[in-house]
Structure 1
């Protein structure tokens, strides 16, 4: 069961809140419609429930707020717009990526492809999906964790009739298996046709909470839709016969050839047309909104709230009642009991004045949220879970409640976005799921080979630079720059094509995700560096013979320096892109190391040296009194030798600064949340 209590959004710039003291429930086994015109606060209400926006109130999912659910993807499945993801990623790759986020096996992706009818489209790119296929993929992603509750924002908007029928068939099946479904709607007829219960909001406030049958009877009116080339004549005939028979019939001219006739049947309109020889092209009974066009609305009819149908006009004096029965008067309901602490004293009166008790089987949270009593979540006051029917003007129930009467609701603080439950699997699939890394690797290898052949021809370039294709004119060799690009894309793509936290507008700064990105980017950089050395060596051997392809005696230190350069560039790009949330920032940080930092370090290291760090490994061993092997001294000496070079020192300094900046940005974001 989903229970929303006192949801109130944070006002912006002295404007009224988009959602104001909204309370309702969505029961399991039923489809609940949140109905309202565009701008009525439906989407904001969903974002408050999912703790995506700051505000007040609390939402319980089977007795627990969302921030107390260990695995939200297994409790709530959401669809709040288009499916986020890299446009070059395939449908199957996107679902497997989301499997790592939800912590479910990758085989679940194939099951969901079958469930949503995308079996043959697993290799289709996201950029080529139609709106219907995009919605199917979004539902597949929402269902990956087998959630109990589905929260969907206008899921059928713009869909074809075929996709529309399939979508609500799937939602009905989820509800029939005991799940809870909450959808937003802008069309009252669509909500009445699909949902079991309709919650109507306007201006962010509660208007009505009714069963679909009651909603159809009180908020929608049956009509006869007529298409005829003689609309004016037929309308006059129907009105004249209705007056003669003292029946309450209303004829509304839709346009030049269409009529809407209220208070009658197809048979009566058809008989009138037949008797007078009027040609009829279409005659059908429909359920339409009760709102009338401004030109034909009755003078005594009060205007309906924005986005809601107006009540049906009263029949003429002495005429039998042909319209729906009036809504029950709020005074006929029993007076509500005093509201519990934390809820307003006077809740709206509804057509179903039942309280919103927490499910008895749901475990109570360990500690109460801020603003609630320590004894656990409060129960609703009678009438707080169902919304008011229409009340006559001047009645106390129709007057808006004071926005700050009573105790304040608990604060809704936007919860920090969650990292993938399987970060290493997620990062590997993120890297290998698009063509960009492969195309970049091919470009780097080709550029490195061409540069190595040209440098080998001159004969004046040192062998280590020839082996990696590093001309003196370039600040970095092609492989190191390519590794930096891969590192920058590791975080840059997260912000450009968010898949982790699309609705929050940021990327989770978790240690596990950072370690996964560092490890995967380092592995990709080392693989690119090794391929470059092997391919350049083979091409040099083929073109110039074995002289240029010989292995130098100090190859361990050269290989270590080459590996450190490529990995350092990858990490510099990754940390800069994660700090400044852009791929361009990562590329700038990679190029800034040889262009700006290395000359600065060279100037510092070129000063007079009075002391040397030679023998530091041996002194460390003697000080720590640890008996590590002598071979380790050689490795430590090689590392210190690399750091003593201007390039190594500049890269280490840049990485230290970027890591501190990344941590500072993470702490700042956590403090803001």
Structure 2
């Protein structure tokens, strides 16, 4: 059961809030439709419920707020807008990646693909999917954790009638098994067909909360649509005859509404009666058909004789029984999975990140391009002169702010936070602090492994090719090569983490890459100027002092490691990366905890 209480969005630029004190509920075993025109606040209401947008109010899922649910993706299935995904990833690979995020077995991906009718297209790439297939895949991602609640934002938008009927049948079947379904719609006819209860909002406020039968009686009224060049005359004739017939027979009232131009609508009559009246009075008719009309949530009908009638009167019309019903022949949604699942451990986010990073060719292409650029630069540097050995091995010309491998590590880190904030299946988890910090830890570990591997492979490849081409005439390993190697790996690792944290903080891959480039181009010159000033004190002799003050005596080789670390930290690039990482990590954690529901 979903209970939304007092949802209110934050007003922007002195404008009224998009959602204002909205309260409603969606019961289990029923389909609840949140109905409204475009811009009425439907999507904002869902985002407020899922704690994706700032605002006031509370949403309870089976009596618990989102931050009190241990594993939200197992209890709430979400589909917001289009289904994001890398175009080169397959449907099965995409769902297996999300299954790791939801903490469910990978076999669940094949189960939900069968439910939504995509089992035959499991190995097809997402870039080749049509809109209908995308929506099916979005529903599959929402069903991954076998949730008890579905929250879907206008899932039928743009679908064909056949796809819409299939979708309605699936949601009906899900509700029949005891699930709670909350779906938004802009079409009143669709809401009447699919919903057991319809909640109507306008400008963010609740207008009506009705059972489907009462809603159909108020808004989905059968009418005769007429188009005639003499619409005004026909409207007055029909209204006069309707009033005269009502006085004689006392039957149900006939309402004639002038829609504007050459169009009129006749409620409470039939095509035969309207056509006979037009024939008797010699009025030409271009169009005469029976249809179901949406009278609007609050707008009263304007009769042709100038009188007004309340469109919200449930006695005014009967529900539309002729509306097409959704197909019921859809696969049953497998249930009971959540009861058999154990709590996901810390390895689940790591599985998700590994599948995300290795499931597409983007990371591999970036690494290959970086290795090629580093190799070419190393060969050119070795051919033109004798630069410092570390710059030669890493392919780092003086005019480049970063070596190719470090720049590629930063780009891979920035790409790591590419789409987590847009995946519908991960939307419920964004409001829970431990889950997001666990995901951050997994990303830090995977990006660190990728950066270190890239750093070492680039050194080995550049060194082997330079030695092969130029022999021993080129000195590859400088004095203190252990310190140089530690500095090189630290630089690559720092760039990867800086790109990752900045992309997660600003939710933009481009800004993550900008943060990586800002360290050598902006921060390093400033720190270089500060560190170049003579210091009144020095850290020389710190390892010996630490060794003499310690209770347990460590090996003398550890002194060399401490001295090397101090030399690395004294470099401007080391200070710049350390400060950048500390600031980005603190800002990221602060935004996570500030976004926690209170």
2:267 pairs with 232, 254, 262, which one? Answer: 262
What are the superposed Cα offsets for residues 528-581 of structure 1, whole Å, 9 maximum, x if unpaired?
A: 112212322332344334654976785444433322222233233334444555
The correspondence for 2:568, drawn from 642, 648, 667, is: 642
3-state SS of paired residue (1:145):
coil
- Select the residue among 659, 662, 666 that pairs with 2:582: 659
Normalised by the length of structure 2, the TM-score is 0.77
Matches within 5 A, 1:267-346: 285-290=290-295, 296-302=303-309, 309=311, 311=313, 324=318
State the match for 1:460 in structure 2: 386
Task: Check if 1:174 corresponds to 2:181.
Answer: no
Q: Within 2, Cα distance between the matches of 1:502 and 1:664?
A: 21
Q: CA deviation at 1:620?
A: 3.0
RMSD of aligned residue pairs (Cα, Å)? 4.5
CA–CA distance in structure 2, aligned partners of residues 218 and 596 of structure 1 = 65
| SS of equivalent residue, structure 1 residue 223 | strand
Is 1:559 equivalent to 2:485 in the alignment? yes
1:96 positional shift: 3.4
Distance 2:273 2:57 in 1: 52
Given that 2:219 and 2:293 are in contact with CA atoms closer than 8 Å, whether structure 1 keeps it comes out as no
CA distance in 2, matches of 1:495, 1:148: 23
After superposition, the C-alpha distances for 1:42-63 in whole angstroms (9 at most, x for unaligned) are 4444344334445554433222
What SS class does the counterpart of residue 82 from structure 1 fall into? coil
CA offset at residue 21 of structure 1? 4.8
Distance, in Å, in 2 between the alignment partners of 1:204 and 1:642 is: 57
Residues 187-212 of structure 1: CA deviation (Å, up to 9, x unaligned): 22221111122233345444443332
In 2, the alpha carbon distance for the partners of 1:520 and 1:456 equals: 33
Conserved 8 A contact 1:102-1:421: no
Task: Classify 1:37/1:593 alpha carbon distance in 2 versus 1 (closer, same or farther; 3 Å).
Answer: closer
Answer whether contact 2:20 2:204 (CA < 8 A) is retained. yes
8 Å Cα contact 1:495-1:507 kept in structure 2: no
**Superposition deviation, residue 663 in structure 1:** 0.9
Change (3 A) 1:554 1:213: same
Query: Distance between the aligned counterparts of 2:538 and 2:202, measured in 1?
Result: 77
Tell me what 1:475 maps to: 401
Maintained 8 Å contact 1:86/1:497: no
The number of aligned residues is 562
CA separation in 2, counterparts of 1:24 and 1:603? Answer: 60
Write out per-residue CA displacement over residues 427-480 of structure 1, whole angstroms, 9 at most, x where no aligned residue: 333333444322221221111121122222234334443322222333332212
- 1:468-507 matches, within 5 Å, as 468-491=394-417, 493=418
Asked if the contact 1:104–1:144 (Cα under 8 Å) also holds between the matched residues in 2, the reply is yes
Aligned to 2:459: 533
* CA separation of 1:508 and 1:88: change in aligned 2, threshold 3 A: farther
The Cα offsets for residues 1-56 of structure 1, whole Å up to 9 and x where unpaired, read as 22334445556677665555544332211112223334444444434433444555
CA distance in 2, matches of 1:590, 1:57: 39
Contact 1:541–1:549 (Cα < 8 Å) also in 2: no
Seen in structure 2, the aligned counterparts of structure 1 residues 513 and 153 have a Cα distance that, compared at 3 Å, is closer
* 594-603 vs 147-156, which moves further: 594-603
Asked if the contact 2:222–2:268 (Cα under 8 Å) also holds between the matched residues in 1, the reply is yes
Any residues of structure 2 matched to 1:223-262 within 5 Å, and which?
Answer: 223-224=223-224, 248-250=253-255, 260-262=265-267
Q: Hey, what does 2:156 align to over in structure 1?
A: 156
Is 2:496 the counterpart of 1:570?
A: yes
1:187-202 alignment, distance < 5 Å:
187-202=187-202
Q: Contact 1:79–1:151 (CA<8 Å) still a contact in 2?
A: yes
| Structure 1 contact 23–206 (Cα < 8 Å) conserved | yes
Gaps of 5+ in 2: 320-344
Distance of 2:227 and 2:529 partners within structure 1: 86
Q: Which moved more, 1:11-20 or 1:39-48?
A: 11-20
Aligned residue for 1:447? 373
- Residues 480-533 of structure 1: per-residue CA shift (max 9 Å, x gap): 222222233334x35896778779999979543333232222211111112212
Q: Which residue of 1 aligns with 2:136?
A: 136
By how many angstroms is 1:283 displaced? 7.2
Following the alignment from structure 1 to structure 2, what is the Cα–Cα distance between the partners of residues 592 and 21? 44
Q: Distance in 1 between matches of 2:392 and 2:177?
A: 67
Q: State how far apart, in whole Å, the 1-side matches of 2:421 and 2:516 are.
A: 19
Query: Partner residue of 1:24?
Result: 24
Q: Residues 225 and 259 of structure 1 are in contact (CA less than 8 Å); yes or no, is this contact kept in structure 2?
A: yes
* Kept after mapping to 1: 8 A contact 2:395/2:404: yes
Rate the CA distance shift 1:465–1:577 in 2: closer, same or farther, 3 A. Answer: same
Question: Residue 8 of structure 2 contacts residue 19 of structure 2 at CA under 8 Å; is this kept in 1?
Answer: yes
Match 1:436 to one of 355, 359, 362: 362
* Residue 175 of structure 1: how far off its partner (Å): 0.4
TM-score when normalising by structure 1 = 0.70
Pairing of 1:335-374 with structure 2 (within 5 A):
none
Partner Cα distance (2:191, 2:538) in 1 = 81
1:113 and 2:36 aligned: no
Identify the residue that residue 401 of structure 1 maps to in structure 2: none
Distance 1:596 1:199 in 2: 54
Secondary structure (helix, strand or coil) at the match of 1:573 reads helix
Q: d(CA) in 1 for partners of 2:275 and 2:361?
A: 64
Partner of 1:388: none
What is the aligned partner in structure 1 of residue 62 from structure 2? Answer: 62
Match of 1:387 in 2: none
- Which residue does 1:350 correspond to in 2? none
Specify the alignment match of 2:331 in structure 1: none
